[in-house]
Amino acid sequence: MIVAESKPIKELLEMVKDFNRILVVGCKGCVTVCNVGGAKEVAILASSIRISRKKMGREIEVGEHTLERQCDPEYVDELKDMIGGYEAVISIACGVGPQFLSERYPSSKIFPGVNTQFMGGAEEHGIWSERCAGCGTCVVHYFGGLCPIARCSKSLLNGPCGGSSNGKCEISKDVECIWDLIVRKMMEQDRLDELIEFKPPKSWMTARDGGPRRMIREELVK
């Protein structure tokens, strides 16, 4: 899933300080799963804004709505009859959400309510970590099913570097050295010969480096 975290409430209040009618829009996709942008969080954020304004003695109307997904035009369409009544819209979906809203409703002022972090998963309840860098050409099979592009601080394809220590990365004791895991796993599986093989430079053309990406599946296009 795409993992995000809430923007600090102070930052959000500052963003919308000039508006008195605000719509908070959630998403039932990834951000609901990582407890940051679903219906529950929409309600919490709306209340926080109301309370803060009340303390300031300023009137405010905060609307709440949660879409099935903000990354699909058919769901984004749902807002068409209500969005015009608000001066500002806070999207608490991943970074895709505010952009789909901005594109569909060009006259609305859209603000992001979360900071989108990475593509990853839940290690346990409340802990998420990165797994995929979206490079566009998956190579995890060379590395025991683990991705050094997303998970090595230097994206080394021929690691581990000299900074690997006690299974941790040189940048922080809180970051595991993925190459330590790769080497141990490949050695356990008796695949040292594969690991010793030189991995040539990767083409980043399919990654973000090749420019913004677009995918067309002809068989699905009407």
Partner 1 sequence: MSEYKSGSNLEKVLRAGHFAFTGECGPPQGANVEHLKEKAGHLKGCVDAVNVTDNQTAVVRMSSWAASIILLQEGLEPNFQMVCRDRNRLAIQSDILGVYSLGIRNMLCLSGDHQKFGNHPEAKNVFDIDSMQLIHTVKTMRDEGKFLNGQDIDVSPELFIGAASNPFAEPFDFRVYRLAKKIAAGADFIQTQCIYNMDKFREFIKRAVDMGLHEKCYILAGVTPMKSVGMALYMAKQVPGMDVPDTLIKRLRGAGKGNVAEEGIRFALEQIEEFKEMEGVAGVHLMAIEWEHKVPEIAERAGVLPRPTV
**Interaction site with partner 1 (CB under 8 A):** 153-168, 170-172, 177, 180, 183-184, 187, 192, 195-196, 198-201, 204
Closest CA to 94 of 22, 10, 37: 37
Compute the least distance from the CB of residue 106 to partner 1, in Å.
Answer: 31
Compute the least distance from the CB of residue 154 to partner 1, in Å.
Answer: 5
E strands present in the chain: 2-6, 21-27, 61-67, 88-91, 110-112, 114-124, 127-132, 168-169, 172-176
List beta partners, residue 112.
91
Alpha helices in the chain (DSSP H): 9-15, 30-33, 39-56, 73-76, 96-104, 148-151, 178-188, 192-196
Sign of CA pseudo-dihedral 44, 46, 52, 57: negative
Residue 146 vs 157, nearer CB to partner 1: 157
Residue 85 vs 167, nearer CB to partner 1: 167
Residue 43 vs 181, nearer CB to partner 1: 181
Q: How far is the C-alpha of 147 from the C-alpha of 134, rounded, in Å? A: 11
- The structure tokens listed for 126 are 């409340």
Compute the least distance from the CB of residue 55 to partner 1, in Å.
Answer: 35
Compute the least distance from the CB of residue 188 to partner 1, in Å.
Answer: 11
Residue 39 vs 156, nearer CB to partner 1: 156
Compute the least distance from the CB of residue 115 to partner 1, in Å.
Answer: 16
Residue 18 vs 190, nearer CB to partner 1: 190
